[in-house]
Amino acid sequence: MRDILLQGTDVFIKWGSDNDRVKKLLHEASLYANELVELQGTVVPRLVGTFTDRKVNPKFVCLVLEHLSGIMPDDVFEANRQMMVLIGKLHNAGVRHKQMLPLDEYEHFIPSEKGMRIVDFTLAEKHECRGCPPLMPNDPLKFAIGYDCCYELYTLETELARLDLSQPPELTPS
Ligand SMILES: [Zn+2]
């Protein structure tokens, strides 16, 4: 049993009993147990355990996760920086989230006393990341449709940096 339970830490429970929900939760549990295992407790919450009861018709699945509690950094730029670091680590581990955009309320980034975490991998996919160079304001790369970089990293960075895509870049001859 993990120390998270021995310490009496609160937990967060996700469960489902219909076929689609069960399939998604088992997929999420598999990611936590494999691609995300090294990121538990730093980038994603710790998975305490996965419980299934196949006697229930059709079946029942329950994920018990570390409960996260905290507040977002007051500085929006610092919050955005932390999110970008986290998503970079997620992609480096071979996973793309697929539910981060539109980034209306940062609902998949949860603050905690030990640092921000990314949550909800029900639709996430294994991913061979091509990476994405840091985007700067007026960076011509951001307009290069088909530029060979990771789409999720690219779009998130663009969104988080609040780059103004409505204006063409100021290109300077090199
Ligand atoms: Zn990627």
The CATH number of the domain holding residue 94 is 1.10.510
Going from the Cα of 62 to the center of ligand 1, the distance in angstroms, rounded, reads: 29
44 and 102 share a domain? no
Backbone dihedral angles phi then psi of residue 38, each to the nearest 5 degrees: -80, -10
Going from the Cα of 36 to the center of ligand 1, the distance in angstroms, rounded, reads: 14
95 and 148 share a domain? yes
- Specify the pLDDT at position 62: 94
Confidence of residue 45 (pLDDT cuts 50, 70, 90): very high
Instruction: Report d(CA 56, CA 133) in Å as an integer.
Output: 49
Q: In terms of Cα–Cα distance, which of 122, 114, 90, 117 is closest to 106?
A: 117
The domain boundary, picked from 23, 46, 66, lies at 66
Q: What is the mean pLDDT of the chain?
A: 82
> What is the number of structural domains in the chain?
2
Going from the Cα of 23 to the center of ligand 1, the distance in angstroms, rounded, reads: 24
Q: In terms of Cα–Cα distance, which of 58, 66, 62, 64 is closest to 25?
A: 62
83 and 147 share a domain? yes
Q: Which residues span the domain enclosing 90?
A: 76-160
- Specify the pLDDT at position 164: 47
Going from the Cα of 127 to the center of ligand 1, the distance in angstroms, rounded, reads: 7
43 and 108 share a domain? no
Tell me whether residue 148 is exposed, middle or buried, using C-beta atoms within 10 angstroms of its C-beta: 0 to 12, 13 to 18, 19 or more. exposed
- Specify the pLDDT at position 165: 46
Rounded alpha-carbon distances, angstroms, from residue 125 to 154, 155, 162:
17, 17, 26
Going from the Cα of 156 to the center of ligand 1, the distance in angstroms, rounded, reads: 11
What number is the average pLDDT over the span 70-95?
91
